[in-house]
Structure 1
């Protein structure tokens, strides 16, 4: 069965099964469904053809969805799913098995007994902590479930952002990065991109005193069945307390725990 057939089938479901829906809302969801399942970023013309609507109607719908953050229009005129959708997706994520699986894996781990480990999801430009195993306050900082922090400064945030392109990063921060939390916080997109390239190369991310002076965090992404980050874990400890060899061992353990959790969620091993 072809990808094109699957895409057209997806956008036709609402027409067949939900005849009493508000028409404009139904058309908007059909557009979002097509963009989400498309193997490439569609143009306005392709969208109009896919959902069998006049181009003028699709233009109006896309403009509204873009203004609401549900779609993003790229510089070449193509469309992709916008960042606002992540708020809904991550709300669903918190109700699924990822938190339970995290707790089961961590409770069974003997690695770094008493360490502080956290599980986070990305919402827009912020990280939201959805689970935590605290060993106590580290450098005066304590993680709490529901806490939000700028993604650019955190290890889990950098794990997520490493999956984005530079244009996507710049679109996420059109007015520049947030105000630094410490003197060590990354302050511009160019430096952030260098950090993210390192994350891609080494397979783990580091917050070296960017959130709190004296605290370092090592993170890794948790992937879903599409091998995209659905969450991220991080271990936090006092900065400058580990040798390079010990740091490498901690990073390897964090990566392995993230890999185990990813496999449970359907990612490729």
Structure 2
């Protein structure tokens, strides 16, 4: 296929639905879909014929996918799905399971009057929210599924970080520390490490207006079958002077929900 043809296809794809699309990525997905439906595998020639592309293009795409472990090439030159998919499948499965258990336990009647409760996972230096039950008591802020926030400032992020060594935390933020969201956000990595150490000692994590002025969050990790954090659970409340019995009650409830989800996921709690 000529460069002009590739350019024409790219321009045509870019106008589809008003979005810029990459033809090579679409073809790669088509190849993976085809191979996944073929137990015996497919040769590059068969793939080219079924998709309607040149054999040379099919060979190049399959070779690239094999290099990334998304495909494997057998001795008979047939292509099959590679091992890299297991990472994605496991990650998706774990996320789906933990979100489902969160919803089930909430629906069973667990309540935090006046509170927002959230569930998030760690991606790099950020947490991504995968479930949330928002309360009208925090009208100025709403957690949304898919929302990303710096792990350094959130109670759920600190739930993950508290299971890491200081060296691991430093390596995680090796490319830079996030800009503060409020005046009370940790400003440096050293301050974050002190905060995490305090979280470990008291047995739960806390965001004291680090994400939003006027909001305080209490967090606890959700563990998988290897007893490693798979998600962070947090309850968020309007900022006020909580006395010790109130904090203990809130933390106990958060811990109970997190441990119940962890137990259902196979953790030893």
Give the match for residue 222 of structure 2: 222
Give the match for residue 173 of structure 1: 173
CA drift at 1:25: 6.8
| Equivalent pair of 1:86/1:122 in contact (CA under 8 Å) | no
Please give the per-residue CA displacement for 1:145-170, whole angstroms capped at 9, x wherever unaligned. Answer: 11000000000000011111112111
| Equivalent pair of 2:159/2:220 in contact (CA under 8 Å) | yes
Residues 177 and 90 of structure 1, relative CA distance in 2, 3 Å threshold: farther
Give the match for residue 190 of structure 2: 190
TM-score (norm 2): 0.66
C-alpha distance in 2 between matches for 1:167 and 1:154: 20
Residues 161 and 87 of structure 1, relative CA distance in 2, 3 Å threshold: farther
C-alpha distance in 2 between matches for 1:158 and 1:139: 24
- In the alignment, structure 1 residue 93 sits paired with structure 2 residue 83: no
| Equivalent pair of 2:137/2:237 in contact (CA under 8 Å) | no
Residues 148 and 88 of structure 1, relative CA distance in 2, 3 Å threshold: farther
CA drift at 1:191: 1.3
Larger radius of gyration: 2
C-alpha distance in 2 between matches for 1:206 and 1:100: 25
Residues 93 and 227 of structure 1, relative CA distance in 2, 3 Å threshold: same
Gaps of 5+ in 2: 1-39, 45-61, 70-83
Q: Matched residue of 1:174: which SS? A: coil
CA drift at 1:114: 4.5
| Equivalent pair of 1:128/1:149 in contact (CA under 8 Å) | yes
Runs (4+) off by over 6 Å: 20-28, 85-88
C-alpha distance in 1 between matches for 2:192 and 2:261: 27
Superposed counterparts of 1:229-244, under 5 Å: 229-244=229-244
CA drift at 1:110: 4.1
- In the alignment, structure 1 residue 113 sits paired with structure 2 residue 113: yes
Gaps of 5+ in 1: 1-16, 30-69, 71-84
Residues 223 and 110 of structure 1, relative CA distance in 2, 3 Å threshold: closer
C-alpha distance in 1 between matches for 2:214 and 2:228: 31
Aligned residues: 199
Superposed counterparts of 1:78-157, under 5 Å: 90-94=91-95, 96-136=96-136, 138=138, 140-157=140-157
C-alpha distance in 2 between matches for 1:86 and 1:209: 35
Q: Matched residue of 1:255: which SS? A: helix
CA drift at 1:92: 4.1
| Equivalent pair of 1:182/1:213 in contact (CA under 8 Å) | yes
C-alpha distance in 1 between matches for 2:239 and 2:166: 29
Give the match for residue 31 of structure 2: none
Q: Matched residue of 2:106: which SS? A: helix
CA drift at 1:192: 1.0
Residues 92 and 110 of structure 1, relative CA distance in 2, 3 Å threshold: closer
Q: Matched residue of 1:97: which SS? A: helix
C-alpha distance in 1 between matches for 2:218 and 2:87: 24
Query: What's the RMSD between the two structures over aligned residues?
Result: 2.8
Residues 88 and 140 of structure 1, relative CA distance in 2, 3 Å threshold: farther
CA drift at 1:245: 1.7
Q: Matched residue of 1:153: which SS? A: coil
Residues 144 and 172 of structure 1, relative CA distance in 2, 3 Å threshold: same
